[in-house]
Structure 1
Amino acid sequence: MLQHGGDVEEREFLALADAELARIEAALERLQTATEADWDFEIKPGGIIELDFGGGGKIIVNRHAAAREIWIAAKSGGFHFRPPAGSGEPWRDSRAGASLDETLSRCIAQQSS
């Protein structure tokens, strides 16, 4: 698994980040199907997921290879997530410690209301 604080292999990070972004994409598709979502999303090149909300708001989820993090940019702020320390662990916010899933769910709920 990734070693924080040291030189992380970019290939390893990209593989983990791409797998996480694919998992998020699948979860967003399921959520849209199961609910009357007032938002849509688009996958963009370079590891970017862009969620568009009815009132013109956006949430951007992207991998940031230089920082070895996945970032979320939302109306409520910017959040940076580090790769899991072990198998089965979630990506965690580098400041608050919340999981990526918890934070993204909260951001979607806030921007949907």
Structure 2
Amino acid sequence: MTETEFLVRADKIINNIQRQADDWFENLDIDVDAKKEGYVLTLIFNNKHHVVINAQTPLQEMWLAAPSGAFHYRLEGENWVNTREEGANLGEQIAELCSGLTGKSLTVQI
């Protein structure tokens, strides 16, 4: 994929997650602040725990950082899969991390 195609996909992912986080705040009473700067989205829970999703354009990867660690995802077919280990795809991993931080079962559609 070209750099432009990657950035379009990355922007869509980040915007989708930001909208969902805003919905969590509005509809589920979850204390989360979603801040987007370029191709970086920071979710701040309870004013202390951060989850950061960002695009790594040169590698065409999406990166995820949270209190529990850092994860890298590459597009394979239509799924963003972990480049270091098998397991949850990007949306599932974000949902798992955010659910753990909030104590509520959340889903994330990317």
Give TM class, smaller chain: 0.7 to 0.9
Question: 2:52 is paired with a residue of what secondary structure?
Answer: strand
Give % identity: 27
TM-score by length of 2: 0.80
Q: Distance in 2 between matches of 1:35 and 1:112?
A: 10
Write out per-residue CA displacement over residues 25-71 of structure 1, whole angstroms, 9 at most, x where no aligned residue: 22222222221102211111x21111112251211111111111111
The answer for the alignment partner of 1:12 in structure 2 is: 5
| Structure 2: stretches of 5+ with no match in the other structure | 104-110
Q: Distance in 2 between matches of 1:30 and 1:36?
A: 9
Q: Counterparts of 1:20-99 in structure 2 under 5 Å?
A: 20-44=13-37, 46-54=38-46, 56-85=48-77, 89-94=78-83, 95-99=85-89
Q: Whose Rg is larger?
A: 1
On the 8 A contact 1:16/1:83 being kept in 2, the answer is no
Task: Give the number of equivalent residue pairs.
Answer: 102
The answer for the alignment partner of 1:5 in structure 2 is: none
Richer in helix (by share): 2
Report the Cα offset of residue 103 of structure 1. Answer: 0.4
Q: Distance in 2 between matches of 1:90 and 1:26?
A: 20
| Structure 1: stretches of 5+ with no match in the other structure | 3-8
TM-score by length of 1: 0.78
Question: 1:37 is paired with a residue of what secondary structure?
Answer: coil
Q: What stretches of structure 1 move > 4 A for 4+ residues in a row?
A: none
Question: 1:92 is paired with a residue of what secondary structure?
Answer: strand
- RMSD of aligned residue pairs (Cα, Å): 1.7
Report the Cα offset of residue 83 of structure 1. Answer: 2.1
